[in-house]
Structure 1
Amino acid sequence: MAYSSTHSMTPTEALEKLREGNLRFVDGCTEHPNQDGDRRQSLVAGQEPFAVIFGCSDSRLAAEIIFDVGLGDMFVVRTAGHVIDSAALGSLEFAVDILNIPLIVILGHDNCGAVTSAIEAKRTGNLPKGFIRDLVEHITPSVFAAERRGLTDVNSTVVEHVRETSERLVDRSRIIGDAIEAGRTAVVGISYHLADGQAQIVSGFGLQEA
């Protein structure tokens, strides 16, 4: 499929669609759109997702469910603690540069196990084994950033980590940075609350006023 150079939705419109879906989810009025056979068949030739979600791998954080969307609506990239590595960065750049997706969401959540591990490693000096250590080392700068602001609990640190991840993404990727500057995409940091299902915006780059 030949992808267009622009998307039918603006970053602000894409964010509003996510807000509306999350509100339905919180209120228990989900519509489960775009999840039938007709939608499946319509996507065989290609896709035009309106948002890319870079979220934590936690099983309680299923993006299509909490934003009440369906097939073809989201391009989803997940790592524990939404840690940026080369594969994740390449996937996000593909979403912006090839699929022309107008909105990137960094999606964290309270009581995050990866962030908790980073806090404990920093406190005790004991790093976990294997590649879990690599995850913790990537999150630790966010732990320091939170502490500089007087924040030491896991949920406040999660919010800081979402903000830090958003900034790192924009700083590290020329493709994404250029897309933001051109007004083609925006990056929004969201912290999800497990108990009530609310998705709270905590940071943003490139959003225009409606």
Structure 2
Amino acid sequence: MMAITCVDAYRTLRKGNENYVTGQSTHPNTDISAREKVVDGQHPFAVVLCCSDSRVVPELIFDTGIGDLFVIRVAGNVLDDAIIASIEYAVANLGSSLVVVLGHEKCGAVTAAVNQVAGGHLIALTDKINPAIDQAQQQDGDLVDNSIRQNAINMAEQLQKSAPVLRPQYEAKTLKILPAYYALTTGKVAFLKG
């Protein structure tokens, strides 16, 4: 499979989400031949960093199939070195031209951070989300929802600045890195910038 441009990857995800929202999903690349095509290698056109919440399933939300997306799931869609390295791998070695940081409505990790519920290892997540909460406190509206959106924006901005792999491609406009917000109630993905 030939790599697609970041603009085409963005359009494909938007169209796939439109299919999902309207109940017209096509479920592409889900048959036996699709499975067989990716046995010897993968070429996902996009990376999706999303929450591990069971209600957030990128392959369904964007109406994609086997080998289309490189999905990384972690509560609160936060970054660490292993996650950044995984994204770099997909971009540098697999040809992914789009990275989406997907926050979602009613995110438990962000809610825990807002409510300062941080027992055990949860503090490793909430510490990464706290800057978004600080910014969201200056915004009108619901603190949790604004924090979820701001967290996705912050993580995307960190990736845009990440050297040596991502920043040069982002600045050359061969790679898009976008924050987004998934509404559980409607299924709609809103791209927050870009």
TMscore range, shorter length: over 0.9
- CA deviation map 1:41-84 (0-9, x unaligned): 11111111110001111100000001111000000111100010
Partner of 1:147: 137
Give, in angstroms, the shift of residue 203 of structure 1. Answer: 1.9
Number of aligned residues: 194
Report what 1:195 is aligned to.
185
Superposed displacement of residue 168, structure 1: 1.4
Which amino acid is the alignment partner of residue 191 of structure 2?
Answer: I
CA spacing shift, 1:151–1:157, aligned 2, 3 Å: farther
Equivalent position of 1:114 in the other structure: 109
Q: Which runs of 4+ in 1 moved over 6 A?
A: none
Whether the 8 Å CA contact 1:96–1:179 is kept in 2: the answer is: no
* Aligned partner (choices 134, 144, 167) of residue 157 of structure 2: 167
- What is the aligned partner in structure 1 of residue 121 from structure 2? 131
Distance 1:139 1:174 in 2: 24
1:151, distance to aligned residue in structure 2 (A): 5.1
1:26 maps to 2:16: no
Structure 1 CA distance for aligned equivalents of residues 17 and 142 of structure 2: 28
The TM-score, its normalising length taken from structure 1, stands at 0.88
Taking the aligned partners of 2:37 and 2:119, their CA distance within structure 1 comes to 45
1:183 offset after TM fit, Å?
2.4
Match of 2:172 among 168, 182, 185: 182
CA-CA distance at 1:146 after TM superposition: 1.2
Matched, 1:103 2:98: yes
Match of residue 38 from structure 2: 43
| Cα separation, 2, equivalents of 1:83 and 1:183 | 24
For residue 49 of structure 1, give the secondary structure of its aligned residue in structure 2: coil
Supply the RMSD in Å over aligned alpha carbons: 1.5
Higher radius of gyration, 1 or 2: 1
Deviation at 1:152? 4.8
The residue number in structure 2 matching 1:60 is 55
Tell me how far 1:155 sits from its aligned partner: 1.1
- Unaligned runs of 5+ residues in structure 1 are 122-126, 205-210
1:169 deviates by 1.7
Q: CA deviation at 1:112?
A: 0.6
CA contact (8 A) 2:137 2:143 kept: no
- Percent sequence identity is 36
Contact 1:11 1:102 in 2 (8 A): yes
CA distance in 2, matches of 1:34, 1:102: 19
TM-superposed CA distance for 1:170, in Å, is 1.7
Inter-partner Cα distance in structure 1 for 2:163 and 2:122: 25
Contact 2:3 2:95 (C-alpha < 8 Å) held by counterparts: no
- For residues 62-81 of structure 1, the aligned pairs below 5 Å read 62-81=57-76
